[in-house]
Chains A and B, each alone.
Chain A
Amino acid sequence: MKTKMGFVSHQLQDGVKLWVWPTPKFKNVSIKIVLHRHLADNTAASALLPFVNARGTEQWGTTREIALRMADLYGTRHGSDVMKIGEQQLITTEVLTVNPKYVSEPGLLAAALSMAAQLAFYPRMERGQFIDEYLDQEKALMRQRIAAVINDKRGYAHQRFNEAMYATEAASRYKYGTIEELEVVTSSSLTEHWQRVRGTAPINVFVVGDIQADEVVDLLLPLLPPRTGTTESIPPAVVKSTVAEVKEVIEHQPINQAILLLGYRTGITVADPLYFAALVANGILGGFPHSKLFVNVREKASLAYYASSNLNTTKGTLVATAGIDPQNYRRAVEIITDQVASLQGGEITEAELSATKKGLINQLKSAGDSAGLVIDRTVAGIVRGKILSIDEMVRGIESVTKDEAVAAAQRFLLDTVYCLTNQEGREKGENINPQ
């Protein structure tokens, strides 16, 4: 039993870990069950699992029976989906219920845990296989879900950017896989895949709320499925630190606003000595409304409503983005690359450094007030192979010097420029390599 991030962790079985955070802070009990997979391994089949599993369980055989049961449990909510972190695909089942003491319903915790286990581990089957009718309906919905990427222009641009930047890496994949992979899934192939996933995937179960850890362990143990083999070990995400040449991809759609994305390789992950410095450097560049991108792209040049950057410490990359007038493509690329260059040249004021560190620390401390964020931070830590507590993160960020932030920024190498634009934006950028 160990404590990390307020969590007490218990190894329940080989490859199955429980994380409990007993705290009187919340009015809810939050439960999340996560099965870990490599993103490139049977992506579409794995993505179907949470949806088919939520159609009916051994105990609650139809979607409507599940919904009625949830309503009876005082509006307990559930969500099943897959997430992508770096090059892992996570099959998730979440259940959120109100703390029993607010509704004088002592059996609520046991009922909610049981429902979470039913949804995550015990799908309804007939003759030992997934039910064809459920599978066909969920395949049709998944087809729509994959096709629907185009409806959300920013989401679509991000996906196309991923395909360009990570062309030969698993991170290029959409979390639901492709329609082609989906079509070949049958109830017998999915059943076989499910048996392997349920019996051998690493599993983490999180429970947060005003509860007793021992009680959760006692309630959960009998609900777990048997392990059927050695727990799979998932290789870490591919991290690259060099760029042969900058890729430029321009795509057209009849839209009002162009979406610009610039991808940089940093090579900096959680294991790197410059990890905290990279967080600070990204914060100075585009993490806040006081950051260089917001100030220069939006406030000074009036080119965009949003302009920001994000660090991916699983893949060792950074992505800067802005929504712009199609005619301003080249100017926006120039301003963004200039801002990165100024960071690399050490143009950081004392105010920028101090405000960015305070802003990051505020975000971290605030995250401790949300059960969902605490769980998600821990999940990301598990994927990255290193869980840092909020206190460790705060101390790490506090200690970053200007020189370290500059050293981290000097490792930002432009890799891919992607723009989703309309016909007006047909002009091609010329030499955009700032190096």
Chain B
Amino acid sequence: MSTLSNTHLQETLHYCKLPQGLEVFVLPRPGFQKKYAVYSTKYGAIDSEFVDPSTGQRVKVPDGIAHFLEHKLFESEDRPVFDRFAELGAAANAYTSNTITSYLFSGTDMFTEALVTLLEFVQTPYLTDANVAKEKGIIEQELRMYADSPGRRVYSNLLQALYQKNPVRIEVGGTVESIYQITKEDLLLCYRTFYHPGNMALFVIGDVNPQAVVELAAAHVRQPENPLDQGIERIYPEEPDEINQERIIEEMVVSRPLVYLGLKDNSPGEGLELLRQTVVTNLLHKVVFGPTSSLYTELYEAGLIDDGFGAFYTAEPQYGFTMLGGETTDPEGLIEKIKGDLEDKLARGFDHDAFLRVKRQAIGEFLQAFDSLEFIANNYIRYHFRGTSLFDYLSVLEGITPEDGEQRLKQHFAPDNMAVSLVLPKGQ
């Protein structure tokens, strides 16, 4: 077991790679009652095409299968998984993103039993034709709930406008049509392929003993039949640089329009490079669109935005994008103002002092997030699967210069890779 101390964060992380291939991270938090564990596989909604390791054949499975599998792993032959956690007073949950599926629990007592339960149920799929069929109604209702959420629609539609082929354009949960095509065999194939200890990680945080956690994991993670030396062959379609469409509109029952602008990032990079891109892009968002910017003040005072306006950046090795926007009374006016301001910034740059100020702001905000056990565990895993470390965020941040910001501005904020998504009030 190795340890990594971060003096700035005043945290010590313990790390061990088990012989089974699983990577285990433990961050002790003395004085906290809550313990939180997350057990994740590097497998998400975009991994719908891959090579079946047992046959060597390329396969493509229906959309929404990673999320479907997440639901199904809570099924068991004897006692329902939720009941097992409930007996231990622990709260279990799971979530699926484009790139990761995570299973988690938080609890204050009986931590050892709960951790064993977590490791066990994720390693013991129980799938029958009947219980797969039963889940379809539940997931259909989940998807219908999302379809009624204007915020979710404006986001999903924008991804469709930005991407021509990359599966990130499809909802993580798939569609009502695609989930009804999913079979027990499809689910088992995905499970065998991606739920391999060598493709997974465990992160535990709270008032725990790191050595004991590692020993427990070593005792309860099964030895895989084959090591994952070759990795998993995932197939992603070749995504053109160009966006799919400039504008996408949906009508819903809303009080006023929602507008999101998206910028496609065709080269987010990997590992440390990806982390740098993320850090510098987040700083740019603050300096150009944040509450300290002249643009934000102008838009707010003109009544074009409210405090729900914001920008965020997401990057994985396979895709990256900026999204910004919010609710507005005048979508065209807002789009025009934002584009005009970006053109101005591209031509004349930004104030370097303003950049240094938001850098200081970002340092404080990053430290603030470290009061949340969930934030640390979930994000550590996210960064780890991208080949980088959450603990490097601060040191990378401190090294960014205003010149780095200007270079990134020119590279990422080019007007020709921008799309707009609108949700408009029905019948207007």
Contact = CB atoms under 8 A, between A and B. Distances in A.
Interface of A: 24-28, 62-64, 67-68, 70-77, 96-98, 102-103, 137, 140-141, 144-145, 147-153, 253-257, 288-290, 294-295, 298-299, 302-306, 323-325, 351, 354-356, 358-359, 361-363, 365-366, 368-371
Given A102-B367, A150-B255, A305 B88 contact: no
Contacts of A151: 150-151, 254-255, 258, 327
Contacts of A63: 291, 297, 300
B19 interface: no
Interface in B1-34: 8, 10, 31-34
Interface residues of B, number: 67
Nearest to A75: B364
A27 B364 contact: no
Interface string B361-384: 111110110111100000000000
A157 to B, nearest CB: 11
Contact of B301 (A73, A137, A299, A362): A137
B33 A369 contact: yes
A72 B359 CA distance: 10
Interface in B293-308: 294, 296-297, 300-301, 303, 306
Given A67-B292, A75-B368, A302-B138, A289 B92 contact: yes
A27 B368 contact: yes
B59 interface: no
A259 to B, nearest CB: 9
Interface in B130-145: 134-139, 141-142, 144-145
A71 B371 contact: no
Contacts of A325: 141, 144
B77 interface: no
B141 A365 contact: no
A27 B371 contact: yes
Interface stretch (B78-86, B96-104, B157-165): B78-86
A260 B272 CA distance: 48
B46 to A, nearest CB: 23
8 contacts: A71-B361, A96-B368, A141-B303, A151-B258, A257-B145, A303-B141, A358-B109, A361-B109
B253 A289 contact: no
Nearest to A76: B364
B357 A68 contact: yes
B209 interface: no
A71 B358 contact: yes
B355 to A, nearest CB: 11
B181 interface: no
B89 interface: yes
Contacts of B357: 68, 71-72
B188 interface: no
Contact of B90 (A77, A150, A362): A362
Contacts of A148: 254-256, 327
Contact of B86 (A26, A288, A363): A288
B106 interface: yes
B361 A365 contact: no
B87 interface: yes
Contacts of B253: 150, 253-255
Given A67-B291, A144-B256, A144-B329, A97 B364 contact: yes
A349 B294 CA distance: 62
A336 to B, nearest CB: 15
B61 interface: no
A290 B150 contact: no
Nearest to A152: B149
B297 A302 contact: no
B44 interface: no
B291 A64 contact: yes
B107 interface: yes
Contacts of A323: 141, 144-145
A108 to B, nearest CB: 9
Nearest to B307: A141
Interface string B329-364: 100000000000000000000000000011011111
Which of A27, A147, A368 has the most B CB atoms < 10 Å from its CB?
A27
